[in-house]
C-alpha cells in the first residue's frame, strides 16, 4: 500500500514570496490533515479535511495560509506571503475516517526555509 506522498521535499524562498505544497493521501482515506512542525517541536495541526470539506481550521493563520482539497483526494497548502517564522516542516497526514479511527499516517514532509 502506497503511503502519503508529498512534494516538494525541500523548498527555499525569500520572505514575502509565495509557496505551495502538495499532498496525496493514502487511497481511500477520507480525512486529511496538514501540520506545521517547527524545529525542536512537535507537529501542530493547521487544518483538517473530511473529503472536500473543512472539519477544523481554527489554528490556520488565514491571513497568509490557505488550503484546499477540491475533489476530496489531493490537497494543496499555500503560504502567501511567507514570513521568516514560517520556516518549518509541513507534514500531511491521512486517516480512513476521523469519525471511526484515530490512526493517522504521515507523509515525509516538506521542509520550508524562508530567508
Partner 1 sequence: GENVEQHPSTLSVQEGDSAVIKCTYSDSASNYFPWYKQELGKGPQLIIDIRSNVGEKKDQRIAVTLNKTAKHFSLHITETQPEDSAVYFCAAALSGGSYIPTFGRGTSLIVHP
Q: Which residues of this chain interact with partner 1, rule CB under 8 A?
A: 4, 40-45, 48, 55-56, 91, 93, 98-99, 102-109
Backbone φ, ψ for residue 15 (5° rounding): -60, 150
CB of 76 to partner 1, least distance (A): 18
Closest approach, Cβ 60 to partner 1, in A, equals 12
Shortest distance, CB of residue 93 to partner 1, whole angstroms? Answer: 7
Closest CA to 36 of 90, 94, 85: 90
Q: How far is CA 37 from CA 72, 99, 101, in A?
A: 24, 25, 23
Name which of 19 and 33 has its Cβ closer to partner 1: 33
Amino acid at each position: 500500500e502506497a503511503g502519503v506522498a508529498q512534494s516538494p521535499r525541500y523548498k527555499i524562498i525569500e520572505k514575502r514570496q509565495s509557496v505551495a505544497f502538495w499532498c496525496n493521501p493514502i487511497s481511500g482515506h477520507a480525512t486529511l490533515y496538514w501540520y506545521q512542525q517547527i524545529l525542536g517541536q512537535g507537529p501542530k495541526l493547521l487544518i483538517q479535511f473530511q473529503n472536500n470539506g473543512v472539519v477544523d481550521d481554527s489554528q490556520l493563520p488565514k491571513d497568509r495560509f490557505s488550503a484546499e482539497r477540491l475533489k476530496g483526494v489531493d490537497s494543496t497548502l499555500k503560504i502567501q506571503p511567507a514570513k521568516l517564522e514560517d520556516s518549518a516542516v509541513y507534514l500531511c497526514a491521512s486517516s480512513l475516517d476521523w469519525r471511526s479511527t484515530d490512526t493517522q499516517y504521515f507523509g515525509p514532509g516538506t521542509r520550508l526555509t524562508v530567508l
